[in-house]
Amino acid sequence: MTTVTAVQDEVESRNQSWFARTHFGLHTALIVLMVIWLIPTLGLLVTSFRPGVDASSSGWWTAIFPPFKFTFENYAHVLGQANIATNFLNSFFISIPATVIPIFVAAFAAYAFSWMEFPGRNILFVVVVGLLVVPLQATLIPILGLFASWGIAGTFLAVWLAHTGYGLPFAIYLLRNFMGSLPREVFESAAIDGASPVTAFFRLALPMSVPAIAALAIFQFLFVWNDLLVSLIYIGLVNPDNLPLPVTIANLVNSTGGGSEFIPAAAFLSMAIPLIVFFGLQRFFVRGIVGGAVKG
């Protein structure tokens, strides 16, 4: 397959101009877009290494020319906060299950929505996706009341459950769309071979949905990792020891009266983990999982 393309490419390229051959337009368009997207982030990065006084008196781009006046002061200040290590660990304890649980729960539901027949399926699906629009703020007080009566307010479990509930509509929507587009013959032949729905789910539907699941995992992790409101309400009011990283950062900004010179440094420190997750899951965006399964 690849050799066919290679030969074909070669034939084509002999008949084409230099611009077409080198994909000049493609690379230029991409690089322009990348530069536009990078500029604000670059500004943030440079600012995170500048003394607070400078950042408010001159543009960030002046700092990348000599004389250099970079400082690690902002990072040192953020890392010097009490409890930051505990908060960091808490962030992991919160984010990992709050990503894994909704993915599984949504995958079960999405599989039922795409490959099982039952009355009221479409209406139920509309309701599920419609719940995407429910404003988070409207749910906080009633749910906190529930958690208090169950005796789990302030625990990690409370935040896992809450994030699962909030993340499910999008997760079900995305996975149902992906699983629903898988080829019917795969599931039909599995059923003929006597595979139970559980087997079909774990052996076929799940592996074939890997790119969508990877995308979902990235977003859910990101959402939970950067969340301030949910953990502040369900944990912070009862058990501040269990609070995650963004809370420390928010306190840092509030307690220093403005303190905006620390925000860029804090932002880069808290961005690191979501970016690692993104890089890690990138390799699951692979081509041809579906094609292979149909053929096999």
Partner 1 sequence: MDKVINALIVVVGVPAVLVGYIWATEQLLRVFSERVKPRIRPWLWMAPALAFLGIFLVYPTIGTIIRSLQDKFGKQWVGIDNYAWFAGSDDALAALKNNVLWLVFLTVFVVGFGLLIAVLVDRVRYESFAKSVIFVPLAISMVAAGVIWLYMYNFNAPGSTQTGTLNATIGAAGLGPIPWLQVQDFSVNTFMLIIVMVWMWTGFAMVIISAALKGINPELLEAARTDGATELQVFRGIIFPLLVPTLAVVATTMIITALKAFDVVYTMTGGNFKTSVIAWQMYAEMFKFGHYGRASAIAVVLLIAIIPIMFFNIGRFRAQEAVR
Q: Which of residues 2-41 bind partner 1 (CB under 8 A)?
A: 4-5, 8, 23, 26-27, 29-30, 33-34, 37-41
Q: Is 206 exposed, middle or buried (0-12, 13-18, 19+ CB in 10 A)?
A: middle
Amino acid at 272: A
- Contacting partner 1 within 219-238 (CB under 8 A): 219, 222, 226, 228
Among the listed residues 64, 68, 79, 180, the single contact to partner 1 using CB under 8 A:
180
Residues 189-218 that bind partner 1 (CB under 8 A): 196-198, 201, 211-212, 214-215, 218
Q: Which of residues 64-83 bind partner 1 (CB under 8 A)?
A: none
**179 with 161: CB under 8 angstroms?**
no
Give the contact letters, 251-290, x = binds to partner 1 (CB under 8 A), - = no: --x------x--xx-xx--xx--xx--xx--x--xxxxxx
Which 135-174 residues touch partner 1, going by CB under 8 A?
135, 137-139, 142-143, 146, 156, 160-162, 164-166, 168-170, 172-174
Kindly state the smallest distance separating residue 211's Cβ from partner 1, in Å. Answer: 4
Nearest distance, CB of residue 152 and partner 1, angstroms: 12
CB of 61 to partner 1, least distance (A): 7
Which one, 154 or 264, has the nearer CB to partner 1? 264
CB of 80 to partner 1, least distance (A): 19
**Nearest distance from residue 66's CB to partner 1, in Å?**
19
Question: Which residues inside 88-127 make contact with partner 1, applying CB under 8 A?
Answer: 89, 92-93, 96-97, 100-102, 104-106, 108-109, 111-113, 116-118, 121-122, 124-126
Does the protein bind partner 1 through residue 53 (CB under 8 A)? no
44 scored as a contact of partner 1 (CB under 8 A): yes
State how far the Cα of 246 lies from the Cα of 95, in Å rounded to an integer. 12
Structure tokens that stand for 89 in this block: 């660990």
In the complex with partner 1, the residue whose CB is nearer, 256 or 260, is 260
Distance of CA 29 to the CA centre of its chain: 26
Q: What amino acid is encoded at 266 in this protein?
A: A
Minimum separation from the CB atom of position 189 to partner 1 (A): 14
- Please, are residues 211 and 291 in contact by the beta-carbon 8 Å criterion? no
59 binds partner 1 (CB under 8 A): yes
